Structure 1
């Protein structure tokens, strides 16, 4: 395979981290003046502000300058997958938290390599695969990063999933239906079972951080429905490179591009999948 089909993952992770810090700088500048933000309603409980749009534009500017050959799919401006790999960008994961002054939100940037591309020194990938993941929490100044085949880190220190082996001892993260309620009849029985089975369930309102926190062992597992690809692309790789599992809830797609996912260390992910599967409709 020609050299041009091989990704430089070292350069890509540096680019993603730079872009994430650039976007976060804009968010934090607005965080102290939230009352002045112009907020639009894309749909019920689906909000967007100048902060989202300006942070996304700044992130895209960095990515296009450094990697013009890659596709871009971003929450606010759209885009399309193309080339050897595509950036998936959420400039503000946790918009509702941000707008209400709740200090729990993040910038999420991932690079998804397309089938046939080489990531590093390995064989060409057989399916689309996240190969770079960055989730940056500017309130805590926590930078979660991952590189395919190499590992995951929090502020430069390697992270791994928890070793909790049983749902009875597990703390789980989740997200309630808030925008799309079409799956509520599937989700609510899952939540009922989780409350009765586990040590506790948390709902913090930022999917990228839920995945990152599961990757570093703060949560033992996580499941959610109704998300978007840019919500989960970076966190999927951070989870996997931390020794965990993150897969499509219906186990059809190579990564949870459809926005329904199960994640955790291998034992918890399996137990969680078994807990929710009886409530899933075949679609």
Structure 2
């Protein structure tokens, strides 16, 4: 085996086990100890709880034990790139939902292969690329998994994006600005356009699940701005491997590492690009 080849099957299994470990902690608080949670405010409307920290610790511990050669970047504890690839971890995507007892949140674990590594076949990756995605919804017991070049699954059944071609018939998902309002002048016109041009728009409060639901066809398309890379790393894999497109909204990067994203099947993703592009301030976006 080439020293630059990634053991994707091994890494997927490690991520699945880590996601279950993190989710078990979340559900122990959700079921019996929600009132015991210590909640801190990182910034305006940006909350972190004891459950986030403990779940992240369990996930990181498992991944370090089973994939010590890889880097780790986690939402609460930070980290850095290392080796051929780096894990991006959000132990609780949908913290506000979780704290309010709304059963819509997930563990999200994505693996980003670094340029120069081999993810599948003999092709050397020219740029950093999401290659493993695991999003686990413990409330519905839905496990979404994706592997670069192989496919995406929901609880072991292969999934793919919807076949909807017309934006007017599309159900879209998005996320409203809630902590960083600097991009609101760009975003708000896109929301107005989507409300008028689509079948409907949903704001559910978990980017990881929004992308997972695009991958399995529940949503036809999704766009959002101001996210973090750990919010979208896993979901990008799910959508791409479900025969969809998940790209940087501003068309400035190979994957949506800057947290600006549009996703859907080819037709809806293109329509979202056309809808959003006139309102973006960045030249060439």
Q: Summarize deviations over 1:136-165 as a string: whole Å, max 9, x none.
A: 000000000000000000000000000000
Unaligned 5+ runs, structure 1: none
In structure 2, the residue matched to 1:10 is 9
Alignment of 1:117-266 (within 5 A): 117-266=117-266
In structure 2, the residue matched to 1:53 is 53
In structure 2, the residue matched to 1:21 is 20
In structure 2, the residue matched to 1:31 is 30
1:82 and 1:11 map into 2 onto residues whose CA distance is 18
Structure 1 runs of 4+ with >2 Å offset: none
Shift of 1:121: 2.2
Shift of 1:120: 2.8
In structure 2, the residue matched to 1:102 is 102
SS in 2 for 1:91: strand
1:214 and 1:110 map into 2 onto residues whose CA distance is 17
2:122 and 2:85 map into 1 onto residues whose CA distance is 16
- Aligned-residue CA RMSD in angstroms? 0.8
1:46 and 1:190 map into 2 onto residues whose CA distance is 23
2:125 and 2:282 map into 1 onto residues whose CA distance is 28
SS in 1 for 2:97: helix
2:55 and 2:225 map into 1 onto residues whose CA distance is 26
In structure 1, the residue matched to 2:76 is 76
TM-score, length of structure 1 as denominator length: 0.99
Q: Summarize deviations over 1:170-211 as a string: whole Å, max 9, x none.
A: 000000000100000111110001001100000000000000
Unaligned 5+ runs, structure 2: none
Contact 1:173/1:203 (8 A) holds in 2: yes
Shift of 1:122: 3.0
TM-score, length of structure 2 as denominator length: 0.98
Contact 1:90/1:108 (8 A) holds in 2: yes
SS in 1 for 2:3: helix
Contact 1:93/1:207 (8 A) holds in 2: yes
2:266 and 2:244 map into 1 onto residues whose CA distance is 6
2:195 and 2:282 map into 1 onto residues whose CA distance is 24
